[in-house]
Amino acid sequence: MPTLDSELLRTFLAVAGTGSITEGAGVIGRSQSATSLQIMRLEEVLGRPVFDRTGRGVTLTEAGQRLLPVARDVTGRLDIALREITSDGLRGKLRLAIPDDHGRAKLADILGAFAQSHPQVELDVTCSLSTEFPGLLKKGLLDLAVYEVEVPEPGEEVIYEDPTCWVSSGFQDLAAEDPVPVALFDRACWWREAAIRALEARGRPYRIVFSSQSVAGVTAAVEAGIAIGLLGRSSVAPHLKVLGDGQGFPDMPVSRLVIGSSREADVTLADTMKTAIRKAFQK
């Protein structure tokens, strides 16, 4: 008697979720032809089609709609069983903080990798502007945090470096204005201080026309052509223009992303999370 294989069910879920054989193949890391063969095998086992093929992709047939909740339940139970069986028994609670701009891109990778291996650990995650993280660590209100510094202090592990630079819109010559309009962070942080210090050291008149709590806000002001801003090199889109010494803007310091931990943190939990964070930022 034919049986349903969990690998066939995962392929079915990937295609159903994307509405496309091609995109579903990308989700599971297989070729389009291999994915099509697995769907054909599933339909052979069931004795009926699970998808209607159209020029725009695929849609579920009646049989596919009936199979969908079953496939989710079966694969979900298998994943839970695997996590419980292979879990290292690590337990406890970890209070983690990640800067908002980096967190959007990396948080899913970090949490996914950690939760997969350590399902018994309770995570309390804060994702916001990181200027307050060091103080919260010292007060014992956080166990572990990722934040940006210009010069790391003892105990802070550098996991990523990003040169900072002055940036303007590629369509307007704001650098020639006097005073030059600038967009800066609106809270006390070393990026804001470094920007003002560099302008004043050059004797360059400036006026702050835009303030933001995030890199996204400063970037928006630059893209809109209302100001120049200090951004990390990794955040500079191709359509923006980097300003250098030729335009009267000096080289700026490197931003270093570090991991800091509290003295009260559980050492085993903190070290395990640090490993997951390192892997996420190495990708």
pLDDT digits (tens, 9 = 90+) for 33-59: 999 999 999 999 999 999 999 878 899
Predicted pLDDT at 8? 95
> Domains along the chain?
6-86 (1.10.10.10), 92-150+257-281 (3.40.190.10), 161-252 (3.40.190.10)
Report the percent of the chain where pLDDT is more than 90. 43
Binning pLDDT at 50, 70 and 90, where does residue 262 land? Answer: very high
Average pLDDT over residues 76-80: 85
Maximum C-alpha span of the chain:
83
Reduced to 3 states (helix: H, G, I; strand: E, B; else coil), residue 118 is coil
Average pLDDT over residues 106-122: 79
CB 72 within 8 A of CB 80: no
Reduced to 3 states (helix: H, G, I; strand: E, B; else coil), residue 51 is strand
Q: What is the mean pLDDT of the chain?
A: 87
CB 98 within 8 A of CB 264: no
SS3 letters across 123-146 = EEEEEECHHHHHHHHHCCCCCEEE
Q: How far apart are alpha carbons 105 and 40 in whole angstroms?
A: 36
Reduced to 3 states (helix: H, G, I; strand: E, B; else coil), residue 174 is helix
Answer yes or no: is pLDDT of 175 > 90.
no
The one-character DSSP state at 131 is G
Answer yes or no: is pLDDT of 190 > 90.
no
Q: How far apart are alpha carbons 141 and 203 in whole angstroms?
A: 42
Average pLDDT over residues 146-158: 89
Tokens 């969908």: give the residue: 68
Answer yes or no: is pLDDT of 104 > 70.
no
Answer yes or no: is pLDDT of 103 > 60.
no
Q: How far apart are alpha carbons 50 and 200 in whole angstroms?
A: 68
